[in-house]
Amino acid sequence: MQNVSCYFVSREEMQKVEMAQESNMSKFKSEVQSSQGHHFSLLQHETEKLRSDMDKLRSELRYEIDKITAGQRLDLNHERGLIREDLASQNAETTNLTSKLDREIHALRAQLEAAKYDLIKYCIGTLVSISAVGLATIRILM
């Protein structure tokens, strides 16, 4: 019995060991819970930090987009102004060419009228001289 009893533990020792195990287990549980709480708070802090960084990046991105959009609008308005100036100069040039063509057309019409007047004058002169020669011939023959 003594041989066998050296391999077995008494009830009191077993309860002591059990209590020590339970106490160690409760310490371990409390350490795990505190570690989890600490890690959870760190994760929440990191999440908040990332959110604030994302908000900051969003605001910077909006600012850059607004800046680029404003620059493009400015460039577009500048190009519109240049196009309007070009259009105005082309309209002025077209008006000048139209008035120049009108003056040349009026000058050509005046020259045509003068040539027509000279032609009529010479035709009448030729008819009068032919009539005079014809009458002179008739008078001589009669």
Mean pLDDT of the region 35-41: 92
Two tokens, residue 46? 């990191």
Alpha carbons 50 and 42: distance in angstroms, whole number: 12
Cβ-based neighbour number of residue 127 at 10 Å? 10
- Residue 24's pLDDT is 93
Alpha carbons 135 and 127: distance in angstroms, whole number: 12
- Residue 1's pLDDT is 64
Alpha carbons 23 and 30: distance in angstroms, whole number: 11
Is 8 a residue whose pLDDT tops 80? no
What one-letter code names the amino acid at 36? Answer: Q
Mean pLDDT of the region 117-130: 96
Alpha carbons 112 and 4: distance in angstroms, whole number: 152
Domain boundaries, the chain: 2-141
Is 7 a residue whose pLDDT tops 90? no
- Residue 142's pLDDT is 80
| Lookup result for tokens 């050296």 | 6
